[in-house]
């Protein structure tokens, strides 16, 4: 089992900007529209050396293999948007930090940055000052486990759905700013999940169907 300390990524050391779902980073703005323009078919991501996924654990234990599986899934998400044609000469540098944590840990962040004193499944913190850094995703494994059990699928399936949702927030999508924006983000979720070959409804479509 693996338990990591507060040493990786932006969130684990210190969040210095207020929670903001919209990003003005030119690279990210460009990729936002690419997410809606993905061609049909399956593309699980390549092995681009420039894509770096920094992953750590806070107040939770997970096997090293499971963490590595999630790291590969996150890499695939980034690759599918920024390198949709699997260009072997792709040489851009992109970094993403993911913190896997407990309900208690994410509740503290949710209260501090969103004034909501409750645990949630995923939070997104865009990095607006560096074109190469997408930002941070924080995912409660405990909430993900509960949602997976409720839905009747495994934890990795649920984590994929949450990573896609959180990743799109980093690209500037926001389902809380009106029905049009919600529909746009729902379409992006569906396209990205389909592109990755992950047979699942997006988080927004799932919630709307309840």
Higher-pLDDT residue of 36 and 88 is: 88
Per-residue pLDDT at 189 exceeds 50: yes
Q: Could you tell me the fold of the domain covering 42-208?
A: Collagenase (Catalytic Domain) (3.40.390)
Per-residue pLDDT at 29 exceeds 70: no
Segment 47-51 shows an average pLDDT of 73
- Round to whole Å and give the CA distance between 160 and 64: 17
Rounded to the nearest 5°, which phi and psi values hold at 61? Answer: -115, 135
Judged by phi (left if over 0) then psi (alpha if -120 to 50, else beta), residue 175 lies in: alpha
Which three-class secondary structure state does DSSP give residue 110? Answer: helix
Pairing mode of beta strands 51-58, 94-101:
parallel
What are the tokens at 43? 């593309």
Kind plus residue range of the DSSP H or E element containing 185: helix 179-196
Span 158-177, pLDDT tens digits: 999 999 999 999 988 888 88
Domain boundaries, the chain: 42-208
Across 82-86, 156-160, 181-185, least confident range: 82-86
Q: What is the pTM of this model?
A: 0.83
- Residue positions counted in the chain: 210
Q: So what's the pLDDT on residue 174? A: 86
């Amino acid at each position: 089992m693996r338990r990591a300390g507060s040493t990786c990524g932006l969130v684990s050391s210190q969040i210095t900007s207020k929670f903001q779902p919209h990003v003005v980073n030119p690279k990210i703005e460009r990729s936002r529209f690419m997410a809606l323009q993905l061609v049909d078919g399956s593309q699980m991501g390549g092995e681009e050396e420039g894509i770096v996924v920094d992953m750590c654990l806070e107040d939770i234990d997970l096997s090293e293999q499971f963490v590595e599986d999630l790291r590969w899934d996150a890499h695939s998400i980034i690759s599918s948007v920024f390198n949709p044609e699997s260009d072997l000469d792709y040489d851009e540098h992109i970094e993403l930090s993911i913190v896997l944590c407990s309900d208690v840990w994410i509740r503290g962040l949710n209260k501090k940055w969103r004034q909501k004193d409750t645990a949630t499944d995923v939070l997104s913190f865009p990095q607006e000052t560096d074109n190469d850094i997408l930002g941070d995703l924080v995912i409660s494994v405990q909430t993900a486990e509960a949602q997976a059990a409720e839905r009747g699928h495994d934890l990795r399936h649920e984590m994929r759905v949450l990573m896609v949702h959180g990743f799109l927030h980093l690209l500037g999508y926001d389902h809380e700013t009106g029905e049009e924006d919600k529909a746009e983000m729902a379409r992006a979720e569906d396209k990205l999940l389909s592109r990755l070959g992950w047979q699942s409804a997006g988080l927004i479509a799932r919630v709307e169907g309840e």
